[in-house]
Structure 1
Amino acid sequence: MLNRTSITARNNVTVTGEGAKTLVLAHGFGCDQRVWQYVVPALSKRYTLVLFDYVGSGRSQLSAFSQARYATLEGYAQDVVEICKTLDLSDVHFVGHSVSATIGQLAALEIPERIASQIMICPSPCFLNVGPEYQGGFERADLEELIELMDRNYIGWAHYLAPLVMGPESSEQLIGELSESFCSTDPVVAKVFARATFFADYRHLLPRVTPPALLLQSQVDSLASPAVGRYMHARMPQSTLRELPCVGHCTHMTHPETIIREIDAWLGQSS
């Protein structure tokens, strides 16, 4: 039996809004639930929102971090499963940014009865280039170099990665917010999450995804190109792909109105 207080404290769970439909908002690598601040005010007027931090991120309980558990994305998916069970959530619309799209897929395979649909913002099942049939965006050597930079100069790594993730048209304020989020994450935890995120290949999950899925893809994204979104859409039977006129990997921060509009349309809610 899961202890509600311990789970909600462990993952710094926040519930807001009083809508009939429930959205679980799951942040990506190096972030925490604060990245949703640009969409929460509007969405909370129409939906019940469940926000949280993965163990090791944000204001979660760092003492709960286990390198063995969180060395793979299955460990982060277990956080989602335990939150849903603890709060007894049903008919959840899981909104996952970046790697959290895959984490949501893993969770949905374990608790399909609780997940109504998935909304994937700039998703990628694999960030690696794997032969001519799949170009995830990065060579393994490049990612190994990025991990080594984390060891040598963690602050420098954060300042290098933030503008790459946000995109060339992003404001200094947004880049600064993301960089600060990276810097506030414990370096040991960040390295474990980075390896779990960037060296994984979960393409085999795509045909097994049963809940309907909305893929929201930026037209210009240095981490997950439109080709990745098309690859996923072609292999997910119940998927809808929307290529958005956006630049960057964090469209919920850079283009919140667009993301809100797409979520409302997907859930049949007029703004």
Structure 2
Amino acid sequence: MTQNVLTRNNVKITGSGKQAMLFAPGFGCDQTVWSLISKSFEKDYQVILFDYVGLGLSDVKAYDSDKYSKLSGYVQDVLDVCSALNLKDVILVGHSVGATIGMLASLREPVYFSQLIMIGPSACYLNDPPGYIGGFEKEDLLGLMDLMAKNYIGWATVFSATALNNPDLPDIEKDIEDRFCSTDPVIARNFAEACFFADNRQDLSKVTIPALILQCANDVIAPESAGEYINKSLPASTIKYMNATGHFPHMSHPEETAQLIREYLLETSVSVEKEDVGGLT
């Protein structure tokens, strides 16, 4: 079972640290989106990368359209990887819906996780006025799904440019577009429906581990209102507003992204050490 999961999800393990850091990609992405920041953590952590079933170099034969029509299918992938590697106290770094998937995994099996790093997260992409602005009207998302079905390549071109929102970085924009184009359109649309129509706002208050929210400027996919809602709803969270713009800071602004993660982990480890000392004196 262990080897099957590691092969199925194309699990890669590097680094020399004792504590595990598991990187969960966002919608339509594979583990290679982390290449610009994951290496910087290898000295201090055990870095674990994986692909969701149906994406990247995962075993596409293991894909089940019913299972992966909901986020719970992707949550199970994360939990399977944790179980196969016998992990605990993992720092989960999740991008976009990967942050939500990580959060839901922590609710299912909290023993696996110690902290959540949420990059550009959203608990609900749909607007729910007057109290919640997720960034999209239902008609917008239905139009997005329609475009994916009729002209997948055209959708990939538009969506990658809109999400990155850094026109001065054409190489990264093309990189993101190529990732979408390399995914089976049926699998991508199934993931999109699971992602963009999910509403996990009611789960936020149940989270038992601390979280860092990295909020980009001018993020069309996960606007500040979405990140701030998560920050207010989580029992223990910190929000950092980034200079980075767009929805892919780990690719467009890797240095700032890695620095903010590292600073947060250092601050929280110092805080824990102080608490431990205080409890002994």
TM-score, structure 2 normalization: 0.93
Report the 3-state secondary structure (helix = DSSP H, G, I; strand = E; otherwise coil) of the residue aligned with 1:145. helix
Letter in 1 for 2:156: A
From 35, 40, 43, the counterpart of 1:42: 40
Residue deviations 1:31-50 (CA, integer Å, cap 9, x gap):
10010011022111221110
- Return the alpha-carbon distance in structure 2 between the equivalents of residues 64 and 188 of structure 1: 15
From 3, 7, 17, the counterpart of 1:9: 7
- Return the alpha-carbon distance in structure 1 between the equivalents of residues 119 and 172 of structure 2: 17
For residues 133-172 of structure 1, what are the structure 2 equivalents within 5 Å? 133-172=131-170
Does 2:230 align with 1:222? no
Residue deviations 1:206-252 (CA, integer Å, cap 9, x gap):
10111100000002201111111111111111111111111010100
For residues 1-271 of structure 1, what are the structure 2 equivalents within 5 Å? 3-268=1-266
Report the 3-state secondary structure (helix = DSSP H, G, I; strand = E; otherwise coil) of the residue aligned with 2:163. helix
**CA contact under 8 A between 1:108 and 1:115: conserved in structure 2?**
yes
- Structure 2 residue runs of 5 or longer lacking an equivalent are 270-281
Aligned to 2:274: none
Equivalent pairs, count = 268
- Return the alpha-carbon distance in structure 2 between the equivalents of residues 18 and 242 of structure 1: 28
Structure with the higher helix share, 1 or 2: 2
Larger radius of gyration, structure 1 or 2? 2
- Return the alpha-carbon distance in structure 2 between the equivalents of residues 201 and 170 of structure 1: 33
- Return the alpha-carbon distance in structure 1 between the equivalents of residues 142 and 244 of structure 2: 29
Letter in 2 for 1:67: S
- Structure 1 residue runs of 5 or longer lacking an equivalent are none
Tell me by how many angstroms 1:21 deviates.
2.0
Tell me by how many angstroms 1:169 deviates.
4.3
Residue deviations 1:92-120 (CA, integer Å, cap 9, x gap):
00000000111011100111011000000
Report the 3-state secondary structure (helix = DSSP H, G, I; strand = E; otherwise coil) of the residue aligned with 1:259. helix
